Amino acid sequence: MNPESLKELLKSVSEGRVTPEEAAARLRHMPFEDLGFAKLDHHRSLRCGFPEVIFCQGKTVEQIVAIVGRMAAHGSTILGTRAGPEVYEAVRAAHPGAVYHKAARAIVLVGSEGALPPTGLVAIVSAGTSDQSVAEEARVTAEVLGCGTQPFYDVGVAGIHRLLAHTEALARANVVIVVAGMEGALASVVGGLVDVPVIGVPTSVGYGASFSGLAPLLTMLNSCAAGVGVVNIDNGFGAGYLAAMIIRTAKRLKTRQSKVQSPKSKVAEKKKRSRGHA
> Predicted confidence band at 265 (pLDDT cuts at 50, 70, 90)?
low
In eight-state DSSP terms, residue 179 is E
Show the domains of the chain with their CATH numbers: 3-109 (no CATH), 121-256 (3.40.50.1970)
Q: What is the pLDDT of residue 116?
A: 77
CB environment 231-256: b (16+ within 10 A), e (fewer)? bebbbbbbbbbbbbebbbebeeeeee
> Predicted confidence band at 19 (pLDDT cuts at 50, 70, 90)?
confident
The residue with greater pLDDT, 171 or 261, is 171
Question: pLDDT tens-digit profile of 72-124?
Answer: 988 889 999 999 999 999 999 999 999 999 999 999 999 877 777 778 999 99
Question: pLDDT tens-digit profile of 135-173?
Answer: 999 999 999 999 999 999 999 999 999 999 999 999 999
Question: Judging by DSSP bridges, how do beta strands 175-180 and 198-202 pair with one another?
Answer: parallel
Are 216 and 182 spatial neighbours (Cβ–Cβ below 8 Å)? yes
Q: What is the pLDDT of residue 256?
A: 73
Q: What is the pLDDT of residue 5?
A: 66
Q: What is the pLDDT of residue 119?
A: 86
**Is the peptide bond between 197 and the residue preceding it cis, with omega within 30 degrees of 0?**
no
Question: pLDDT tens-digit profile of 203-220?
Answer: 999 999 999 999 999 999
- The mean per-residue pLDDT over the stretch 38-46 comes to 79
Q: What is the pLDDT of residue 121?
A: 96
Is the predicted pLDDT of residue 255 greater than 90, yes or no?
no
> Predicted confidence band at 230 (pLDDT cuts at 50, 70, 90)?
very high
Q: What is the pLDDT of residue 276?
A: 54
> Max CA-CA distance within the chain?
77
End-to-end Cα separation, the chain, in angstroms = 43
> Based on the number of CB atoms within 10 Å of its own CB, is 163 exposed (0-12), middle (13-18) or buried (19 or more)?
buried
- Which amino acid type is present at position 13? V
Q: Which of 130, 114, 129, 79 is nearest to 100 (CA)?
A: 79
The residue with greater pLDDT, 178 or 257, is 178
- Which amino acid type is present at position 192? G
Grouping H, G, I as helix, E, B as strand and the rest as coil, residue 127 is coil
Sign of the four-CA dihedral 134, 138, 143, 149: negative
Is the predicted pLDDT of residue 8 greater than 80, yes or no?
no
> Predicted confidence band at 197 (pLDDT cuts at 50, 70, 90)?
very high
